[in-house]
């Protein structure tokens, strides 16, 4: 059990709670064209900025534990950083290092999955299947990791490899599938010699099959199971033929929504998953890995009829849930995140509410708590999930921001909480659709709720910290990297960008009762500059009237 935080005797404190508002996917855009945040009428946010200290925080690359500053941030690492107050090396960096040093291939999990299919076990020879997100977005996975494992599998005597691809279109260009597919097919062809057979076996878009999260839509996972395991879906001669056919049949479809397919020869799928095979789910990020993992591992699984559950040696790239130890076998150990803000607050007796809708509920709980399932203190913490609509986000761009706000306003009025954290998913989830008008609508809908929150915080005598976990809606068009010009489609319209941005995010300290506690006047840059979102934890702890742990990254505010 951690020791309680020490009180700061110099801080006068406030009557009401500190409210941390995470505007998911909202940053400061680099380009005027395509910045849906700047293009939206965010009257309430701008009014609070005008009277409050505010600054920009880094939310990508090394600031959130990723390998380089060319790597975009994401919700998982962003909430980790905000919740633990420090920067830990994250999935992409850990996996890359493990492959470079060979540690992954020396590990017990890798030895078990390869032994199963090389005759090194009583099960005899079988196929080694790789399933995961097929891109180099470095948010959930990276193709370099997949290629390295295929090369090593060949070197170790594996003779049969099948790849099940989940097309991206969110963390990379929305219609970039063939840019990855064609070179990869060439790579597999080059590897397939000397008795080694590697082929793409099945696939589909990440938002149509397999990669659901938080139990939002189990039908996605069921479609994935029928595709990768059973092979009972539409057949094509190649993955390229599948992509081209669906694009022709469904005009305007983007990669994340591509329908399911299997590659077949003579009417028979080339790579269903059978008894005696091994399966590696090569995504390193956990949120969209847990459900398909449960389908493979859970003997009492009841979310859909699996028809058959093959006897396979299953491994995840990482441990996706450290408390539940899921999966049972994993190739790379995740970062060990300890002493999170939530754990300190529980030890100090701070009453906490965490709330979002389904799409981001796990981020303000599991990820914010350092990849930990459950509460630190059942008596002092309440977690509330607002069920998300199962509908394309561009059709309901306001999502559940009003319902979240309703709950928070009630919590503010109750006097039951000292610290409230919430996530508005709009900027990220709608931003990923690439529909500009919908994103503007989502921003303005969220801003209305910020106005409601402001009034409630005023009445409660509290403080509101407004920030984001990464950018997205601030960068909705593809731009030429050299000239900055907007990339255009054949019809002359801007080419949509559906991935996260490398842009900084806001940090606004709205404190209506502030007098002289902060030695700065309101205005951009008046807070300590050059910091990342890991500074949010120390900031909130200070505003609650406590002294942050010494090794936490420094707060964005200076107090008397």
Number of other residues whose CB lies within 10 A of the CB of residue 6: 11
Q: Are 249 and 220 within one domain?
A: yes
Q: Are 299 and 223 within one domain?
A: yes
Q: Are the beta carbons of 507 and 465 closer than 8 angstroms?
A: yes
**Residue with the two structure tokens 């979002």:** 356
Q: Let me know if residue 7 belongs to a domain.
A: no
Model pLDDT, residue 334:
76
Share of the chain above pLDDT 90, in %: 82
Domains: count for the chain: 2
Q: Of 332, 366, 401, which residue is a domain's last?
A: 332
Give the mean pLDDT of 507-532.
68
pLDDT at 191 over 70: yes
Model pLDDT, residue 527:
47
Q: What is the pLDDT of residues 50-84, one digit of tens each?
A: 999 999 999 998 999 887 788 888 898 999 999 99
Q: Let me know if residue 490 belongs to a domain.
A: no
Return d(Cα 196, Cα 160) in angstroms, integer: 6
Model pLDDT, residue 68:
78
Q: Are 56 and 138 within one domain?
A: no
What is the domain-level CATH number for residue 98? Answer: 3.40.1450.10
pLDDT at 448 over 50: yes
Q: What is the pLDDT of residues 533-557, one digit of tens each?
A: 999 999 999 999 999 999 999 999 8
Model pLDDT, residue 67:
76
Using DSSP's 3-state secondary structure scheme, residue 412 falls into helix
Q: Let me know if residue 555 belongs to a domain.
A: no
Model pLDDT, residue 215:
87
Q: Taking all residues of the chain, what is their mean pLDDT, rounded to a whole number?
A: 93
**Residue with the two structure tokens 């599938």:** 177
Q: Of 297, 317, 332, which residue is a domain's last?
A: 332
Q: Let me know if residue 10 belongs to a domain.
A: no
Model pLDDT, residue 305:
98
Return d(Cα 11, Cα 33) in angstroms, integer: 43
Q: Are 51 and 117 within one domain?
A: no
Model pLDDT, residue 354:
98
CA distances (Å), origin 263, targets 233, 550, 558: 10, 56, 60
Q: Are 398 and 353 within one domain?
A: yes
pLDDT at 524 over 70: no
Q: What is the pLDDT of residues 470-519, one digit of tens each?
A: 999 999 999 987 899 999 988 999 999 988 899 999 999 999 887 666 65
Q: Are 98 and 67 within one domain?
A: no
Q: Let me know if residue 40 belongs to a domain.
A: yes
pLDDT at 125 over 90: no
Q: Of 332, 348, 368, which residue is a domain's last?
A: 332
Name the token pair of 361. 């509920």
Q: Are 95 and 82 within one domain?
A: no
Model pLDDT, residue 200:
98
Model pLDDT, residue 518:
64
Q: Are 78 and 180 within one domain?
A: no
Q: Are 103 and 252 within one domain?
A: yes
Q: What is the pLDDT of residues 31-42, one digit of tens each?
A: 999 999 999 999
Q: Let me know if residue 194 belongs to a domain.
A: yes
Using DSSP's 3-state secondary structure scheme, residue 178 falls into helix
Q: What is the pLDDT of residues 219-237, one digit of tens each?
A: 999 999 999 999 999 999 9
Domain containing residue 148: 91-332
Name the token pair of 343. 């754990």
Nearest-CA neighbor of 280 among 462, 127, 99?
127
| 305 vs 481, more confident | 305
Q: Are 324 and 367 within one domain?
A: no
pLDDT at 525 over 80: no
Q: Are 306 and 235 within one domain?
A: yes
pLDDT at 115 over 50: yes
- For 115-169, what is the HEC assignment? HHHECCCCCCECCEEEEEECCCCCCCCCHHHHHHHHHHHHHCCCCEEEEEEEECC
pLDDT at 320 over 90: no
Model pLDDT, residue 120:
54
Q: Let me know if residue 1 belongs to a domain.
A: no
Residues belonging to the active site: 75
Which range among 248-257, 463-472, 490-499 shows the weakest confidence by mean pLDDT? 490-499
What is the domain-level CATH number for residue 364? Answer: 3.40.720.10
> Is 178 buried (19+), middle (13-18) or exposed (0-12) by CB count in 10 A?
middle
Name the token pair of 163. 């790849």
Model pLDDT, residue 523:
47
Model pLDDT, residue 323:
57
| 215 vs 275, more confident | 275
Q: Distance between the two ends of the chain, CA-based, in angstroms?
A: 31
Model pLDDT, residue 520:
47
Q: Are 326 and 349 within one domain?
A: no
Model pLDDT, residue 416:
97
**Residue with the two structure tokens 């397939």:** 192
What's the pLDDT band for 529 if we cut at 50, 70, 90?
Answer: low
pLDDT at 328 over 80: yes
Segment (H or E) for 263: strand 261-265
Q: Let me know if residue 154 belongs to a domain.
A: yes
Model pLDDT, residue 482:
84
pLDDT at 522 over 50: no
**Residue with the two structure tokens 């306001």:** 398
Give the mean pLDDT of 379-408.
97
* Alpha-helical runs (H) found in 227-303: 239-249, 290-297
Model pLDDT, residue 526:
43
Give the HSE-up count for residue 18: Cα atoms under 13 Å, Cβ half-sphere: 23
Q: What is the pLDDT of residues 129-145, one digit of tens each?
A: 999 999 999 889 999 99
């Amino acid at each position: 059990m951690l020791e309680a935080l020490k009180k700061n005797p110099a801080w006068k404190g406030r009557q009401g709670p500190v409210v941390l508002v995470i505007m998911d996917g909202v940053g400061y855009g680099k380009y005027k064209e395509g910045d849906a945040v700047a293009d939206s009428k965010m009257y309430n946010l701008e009014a609070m900025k005008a009277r409050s200290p505010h600054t920009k925080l880094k939310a990508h690359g090394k600031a959130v534990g990723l390998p380089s500053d060319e790597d975009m941030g994401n919700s998982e690492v962003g909430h980790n950083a905000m919740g633990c107050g420090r920067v830990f090396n994250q999935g992409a960096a850990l996996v890359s290092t493990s492959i470079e040093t060979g540690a992954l291939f020396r590990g017990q999990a890798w030895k078990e999955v390869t032994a199963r299919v090389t005759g090194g076990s009583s099960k005899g020879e079988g196929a080694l299947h790789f399933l995961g997100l097929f891109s180099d977005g470095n948010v959930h996975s990276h193709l370099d990791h997949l290629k390295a494992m295929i090369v090593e599998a060949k070197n170790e005597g594996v003779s049969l490899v099948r790849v099940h691809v989940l097309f991206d279109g969110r963390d990379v260009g929305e219609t970039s599938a063939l840019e990855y597919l064609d070179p990869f097919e060439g790579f597999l062809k080059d590897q397939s010699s000397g008795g080694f057979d590697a082929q793409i076996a099945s696939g589909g878009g990440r938002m149509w099959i397999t990669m659901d999260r938080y139990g939002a839509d189990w039908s996605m996972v069921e479609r994935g199971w029928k595709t990768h395991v059973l092979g009972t879906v539409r057949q094509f001669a190649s993955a390229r033929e599948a992509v081209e056919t669906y694009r022709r049949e469904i005009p305007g479809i983007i990669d994340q929504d591509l329908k399911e397919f299997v590659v077949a020869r003579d009417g028979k799928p080339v790579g269903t998953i059978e008894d005696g095979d091994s399966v590696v789910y090569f995504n390193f990020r956990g949120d969209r890995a847990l459900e398909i993992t449960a389908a493979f591992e859970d003997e009492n699984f009841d979310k859909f009829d699996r028809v058959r559950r093959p006897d396979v040696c299953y491994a995840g790239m990482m441990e996706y849930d450290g408390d539940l130890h899921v999966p049972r076998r994993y190739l790379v150990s995740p970062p060990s995140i300890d002493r999170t803000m939530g754990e300190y607050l529980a030890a100090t007796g701070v009453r906490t509410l965490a709330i979002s809708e389904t799409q981001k509920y796990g981020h303000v709980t599991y990820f914010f708590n350092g990849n930990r399932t459950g509460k630190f203190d059942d008596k002092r913490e309440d977690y509330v999930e607002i069920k998300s609509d199962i509908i394309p986000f561009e059709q309901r761009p306001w999502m559940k921001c009003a319902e979240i706000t309703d709950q928070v306003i009630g919590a503010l009025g109750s006097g039951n909480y000292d610290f409230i954290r919430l996530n508005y998913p709009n900027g990220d989830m709608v931003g990923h659709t690439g529909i500009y008008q919908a994103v503007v609508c989502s921003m303005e809908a969220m801003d209305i709720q910020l106005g409601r929150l402001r009034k409630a915080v005023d009445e409660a005598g509290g403080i509101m910290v407004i920030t984001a976990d990464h950018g997205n809606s601030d960068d909705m068009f593809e731009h030429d990297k050299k000239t900055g010009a907007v990339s255009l489609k054949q019809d002359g319209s801007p080419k949509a960008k559906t991935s996260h941005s490398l842009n900084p995010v806001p940090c606004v300290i709205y404190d209506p009762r502030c007098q002289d506690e902060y030695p700065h006047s309101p205005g951009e840059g008046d807070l300590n500059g050059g910091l990342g979102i890991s500074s949010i934890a120390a900031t909130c702890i200070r505003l609650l009237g406590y002294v942050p742990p010494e090794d936490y990254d420094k707060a964005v505010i200076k107090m008397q």
